[in-house]
Amino acid sequence: MAVIVPAKSTRERIVPAVGFSILIPGLGHYLAGRKKEALYWFFACQITLLLGMMLAGHTQNDYGFPFKIGDATILFVLLPECGNFLVTQIVTRMYESIEAGGSAPTDIPWRQFGYLLSGMSGVLGMFSAAHASGCVIADNEKIRSGQVAPKIHPGKAALLTLLLPGLGHWVTGRRFKAYLLGGAIIGLFLLGMTLGGFGDFDRQRHPYYWAGQMMLGGVGWLTSALTSGVYIVEHKPYIDAGLLFTTSAGFFNVIAALDAFHRAEQDWLAVGAQVEVKAASGPKGAGGVPGAGPGGITGAGGGLKGAGGIPGGAGGTPPTPDKQGNQS
C-alpha cells in the first residue's frame, strides 16, 4: 500500500524539533518558528514539574535511578518526569527528598497531587515533541491550490488523544476507530481500576505501574486526583490483573496517539503541494522487477511494464492519493 511521506526538507526539520522538545519542552516549537506556542509549552511543563516537586517534598527522587561514574551522577532516570529531560536533571540534583532527611510520610499532605503534577510534566514534554513535529509539517507542506486544509495538523491529533482516547481519530473523521480505540482503552482502564478497588493508581504502592498509567492522559489524571484518598484495607485477589490492565491502557493510548498522528499526517500530505509516495514492494515478477505478473507490476497499483521497462498501458500512471490520504 502506498504511503505518503513528507518532503526530505520537512523530514530534516522534524528531527531537531522532536529532539529539542524532549530536552526542553517548547524549544522544538521555538526552532520551528512557533514562538508563542513555545512559551505555552515551556511554562506548562516547568510549572507543573516544579510545583509538583515542591508539593511532594521532592520525594519523586526516591523513585529514580542514578547512573554514576565514581561519585558523579551522569544521568538520573525518573519516569515519566524525564520527558521534561533537562529541568528534571537539574532539579533532582539541586534538592533531596525530605524523607531522606528524616521526615515522615505524614508530613507531606499533598504528596499524591505533587506526583500527579510532576508526572504530567513529563508526559506533556513527550507530547510536545509530537505537537512540534505536526507544526513543522503544517508549516512546510503547503496546501495545493483549490484544496481544503484538514481540520487539524498531526500534532494536534496526537494531543487530543492524550486528552481523551479516540478523540484524535474522531476529529479527523475516523468515527469507527474513535469508538473502537477509545472504548477499548477506557474500558480496559476502568476494568483494571475496578479489580484493584480503585486504589491501584498510586505511586507509593506501585511506582512502576504508575509510570505507565500516567500515559493514559486526561482520563487517568482525573481518576488519580479523585482516588488519591482511597486506601486498600483488604485483600484484593485480582489486583495484579488490575494493575496490568490499567498500565496496558496507558501504553495502548500512546499507540493510539501515534496512529492518530499518522492518519492526520496522511490527510495533510494528501492535499499538499509536494507529494512523495513510497509504495510497498510486491513479489518479484519473472523479469526481476518488483511486481506480481510476468512483466512485473510496480508497487501497489502501479502500471504494467512494457518491453524495455517503460511504463505502458492504462495502468502506467502512478497512483494518486485520495483526499483522505489512503485511510485504512
pLDDT by 10s per residue, the chain, length 328: 567 888 899 999 999 999 999 999 999 999 999 999 999 999 999 999 999 999 999 999 999 998 988 888 899 999 999 999 999 999 999 998 887 665 666 678 899 999 999 999 999 999 999 999 999 999 998 887 778 888 899 999 999 999 999 999 999 999 999 999 999 999 999 999 999 988 889 998 889 999 999 999 999 999 999 988 777 777 788 889 999 999 999 999 999 999 999 999 999 998 875 555 555 555 554 444 444 444 444 444 444 444 444 444 444 445 555 544 445 4
d(CA 277, CA 294): 24
d(CA 77, CA 195): 30
**What pTM was estimated for this model as a whole?**
0.79
d(CA 222, CA 169): 21
User: Is the peptide bond preceding residue 80 cis, with omega within 30 degrees of 0?
Assistant: yes
Longest dimension (CA), the chain: 83
- Taking the CA atoms of the chain, what radius of gyration do you get in angstroms? 24
> In the structure grid, which three cell numbers stand for residue 306, read together?
512494457
User: What is the identity of the amino acid at 20?
Assistant: F
Q: Hunting for cell 542514578 — which residue is that?
A: 66
> In the structure grid, which three cell numbers stand for residue 262, read together?
499518522
Contact criterion met (CB below 8 Å) for 92 and 64: yes
d(CA 44, CA 29): 14
Which helix (H) or strand (E) covers residue 43, if one does? helix 35-55
Enumerate the H helices of the chain as residue ranges. Answer: 8-23, 27-31, 35-55, 85-94, 111-140, 154-163, 167-171, 175-195, 207-213, 218-226, 239-270
pLDDT at residue number 199: 87
